[in-house]
Amino acid sequence: DAMVIQNPRYQVTQFGKPVTLSCSQTLNHNVMYWYQQKSSQAPKLLFHYYDKDFNNEADTPDNFQSRRPNTSFCFLDIRSPGLGDAAMYLCATRGQGGNQPQHFGDGTRLSIL
């Protein structure tokens, strides 16, 4: 059974139209990450939550924001998507403790028209 669930798997939006991607987890992990992955490239960390503490990467555009209303859910909001934001967006979680690896969801592939 999937433990990190991303919805939808495929999302199409229009240039400049706000879009929200969602991630939920059944692992009760306290850390959640959002990555952007473009074709043939490694995942690029956008930001992460340690419990409710939000940590933004220095090079993450202001266009990208996130919400974590509770332990289980985390959202990625793209306020005004541009053509360059078309990518796979991956959510990952990690449990508490020093030896816990990251577990990825199946991702949402975002297309911009």
Contact residues toward another protein (CB under 8 A) are 31, 40-43, 45, 48, 90, 94, 96-107, 109
Nearer to another protein, 36 or 81 (CB): 36
Q: Which is nearer to another protein, 81 or 89 (CB)?
A: 89
Our CB check for another protein shows the closer of 68 and 106 to be 106
The partner residues of 65 in beta bridges, in order of sequence, read 77
Of 63 and 100, nearer to another protein (C-beta) is 100
Minimum CB separation of residue 67 from another protein in Å reads: 21
Beta bridge partners of 66: 76
Token pair belonging to 17:
């139209």
**Cα–Cα distance for residue pair 92/46, rounded to 1 Å:** 11
Closest approach, Cβ 42 to another protein, in A, equals 4
Closest CA to 38 of 91, 89, 106, 92: 89
Tokens of 87: 């990518």
Minimum distance from CB of 110 to another protein (Å)?
14
* Contact present, 107 and 88 (Cβ < 8 Å): yes
